Structure 1
């Protein structure tokens, strides 16, 4: 049997080679909800990735799915220019972040499209009928709603589960303000048969519900704490409490950290925000102080290597 691999924009790599990883971020992203703040500038993406690499960063997982300006061809250029491994995503976001016309174009072939982007290549210019690039996605991104799942979320998750069963690729979930976590687990894992080890629950730091975080951890899924230093969310000031508490109850091996930079202003190198380097500049030393150097290193290195690796089919 072939060994597990991490599928990056420049090809498959051994999970041991992934290195220090920002497990949830965006180098290219656009949304109708953030007009004028699009991440669409190649030099800025290179500058941000370089700043991350200068602090020891070796890999970035971009959770921008189809229809959000993910620019996978540019991701490959960033990876070549900086030496940082980059994982791209297929999948579909909430309707609020996606052109409804695009959703209608892919509705009858969504699972097939996900599988194709994971195994053959992603579509150029986010056009589901466009040229197939020789760059493959390495994960599937889907999204829940606020304290529930609407029909769009359920339909997309069903397609994501079908694509997972065909390819083995992991599924990352945007949880709106950290909610609907148990609904997603019930649907994806309970109803659609996706193993929890292939599920990454995103934005758990956006809800300070420690009981919910513990229940999610008990499922066996990976837990992504992302988007540090957002003043309008329960992030920095409770982040360490959550991480330390989950580690103390035996769930350190499921924890992931990411920057989730979604606007130009949030970038460190060009926008004045905390950006991707914040993870290693501030969060890592704090985590080392709380947990110890090696346990903290494992959260940045070993956990992403397992979360994003799979038996490529």
Structure 2
């Protein structure tokens, strides 16, 4: 049976509802000192605000070692009525200390599979996707190592692989590695942050390969390209790839949360959805927010 693996158990894809396909309820990295997402009350308030606008599900891309707070996710899901998907995987090496990377070396795939099938630590929460990351216009040794482990975990479980593209770059290099060398089916790969590098030719080639294209934001760091996202989505839709698109908020700092004065999760439904509807129509936006996430994260788990 095809199911989305949520923090409360496996769920039929059609029951996800309106889905924020790339976001963070909790996230903590030495790269963002003082901006940690670790407040449970703030996470609850963000989910309540998202739910009030019709939100039904959030896919949290926070991977191993970056403050996932997996044990807090099930009660938050029950309290707010929002389905949640947790992630395993590993981010770029700059987000970790050397001791953590050394401890994981040689057993990444084992860790990923365990978190997908048995649970994250003592929480018992099973991850529903594998999050990895590329570099700026390239794949360094760490990226290749983590993606190789992600591919092994995919082949063992069927789990989708979600990829952070640094500044939106390197999409085709990622596909060459994951789908070419490592044999991961393209429809099990989700490329994130494509709006940050609005190259229509790259977007088209990625879509033609059969992977999922995730557009997320907005953010202060990437505001220069945020405004081009509707045109990129429209161009892909007109080329026949509306069924490969996903939308997310990607809230990574405390200041970006709506409860702290930022756009936060609600912005996806309050502003992004209506703006996109002007470019591609309300019907397609609804499918991008509901049907597409169910197919992207729905898996016949092994």
TM-score (norm 1): 0.95
Alignment of 1:256-295 (within 5 A): 256-269=246-259, 271-295=260-284
Q: Distance in 2 between matches of 1:155 and 1:231?
A: 28
Q: Distance in 1 between matches of 2:218 and 2:225?
A: 6
1:235 CA drift (Å): 3.7
Instruction: Note if 1:191 corresponds to 2:178.
Output: no
CA 285–179 in structure 1, closer or farther in 2 if over 3 Å, else same: same
Q: Distance in 2 between matches of 1:201 and 1:193?
A: 16
Offset from partner CA, 1:6-43 (integer Å, 9 cap, x none): 00001000000011000000000011110000000000
Cα RMSD of the aligned pairs, angstroms, is: 1.0
1:229 CA drift (Å): 4.4
Q: Residues 27 and 67 of structure 2 are in contact (CA less than 8 Å); yes or no, is this contact kept in structure 1?
A: yes
What's the counterpart of residue 301 of structure 2?
A: 312
Q: Residues 207 and 234 of structure 1 are in contact (CA less than 8 Å); yes or no, is this contact kept in structure 2?
A: no
Q: Distance in 2 between matches of 1:69 and 1:27?
A: 10
Q: Residues 227 and 235 of structure 1 are in contact (CA less than 8 Å); yes or no, is this contact kept in structure 2?
A: no
What's the counterpart of residue 96 of structure 2?
A: 98
Q: Distance in 2 between matches of 1:214 and 1:157?
A: 23
Offset from partner CA, 1:164-214 (integer Å, 9 cap, x none): 000000000000000111110000000000000000000000112111111
1:232 CA drift (Å): 3.4
1:101 CA drift (Å): 1.2
How many pairs are equivalent? 302
Q: Distance in 1 between matches of 2:200 and 2:221?
A: 19
What's the counterpart of residue 129 of structure 1?
A: none
What's the counterpart of residue 192 of structure 2?
A: 202
Q: Residues 163 and 191 of structure 2 are in contact (CA less than 8 Å); yes or no, is this contact kept in structure 1?
A: yes
Q: Distance in 2 between matches of 1:84 and 1:262?
A: 19
Q: Residues 170 and 198 of structure 1 are in contact (CA less than 8 Å); yes or no, is this contact kept in structure 2?
A: yes
Which secondary structure does the structure 1 equivalent of 2:246 belong to?
Answer: strand
Instruction: Note if 1:299 corresponds to 2:288.
Output: yes
Q: Residues 67 and 99 of structure 1 are in contact (CA less than 8 Å); yes or no, is this contact kept in structure 2?
A: no
Which secondary structure does the structure 1 equivalent of 2:277 belong to?
Answer: helix
Q: Distance in 1 between matches of 2:219 and 2:136?
A: 21
What's the counterpart of residue 76 of structure 1?
A: 74
What's the counterpart of residue 215 of structure 2?
A: 225
TM-score (norm 2): 0.98
What's the counterpart of residue 127 of structure 2?
A: 137
1:61 CA drift (Å): 0.2
Q: Which of the numbers 34, 51, 61 marks the counterpart of 2:59?
A: 61
Q: Residues 118 and 137 of structure 1 are in contact (CA less than 8 Å); yes or no, is this contact kept in structure 2?
A: yes
Offset from partner CA, 1:210-253 (integer Å, 9 cap, x none): 11111111111000001124353444310100000000000000
What's the counterpart of residue 150 of structure 1?
A: 140
Unmatched runs of 5 consecutive residues or more in structure 1 = 124-131
Which secondary structure does the structure 2 equivalent of 1:58 belong to?
Answer: strand
Select between 291-300 and 33-42 the one with higher mean Cα deviation.
291-300
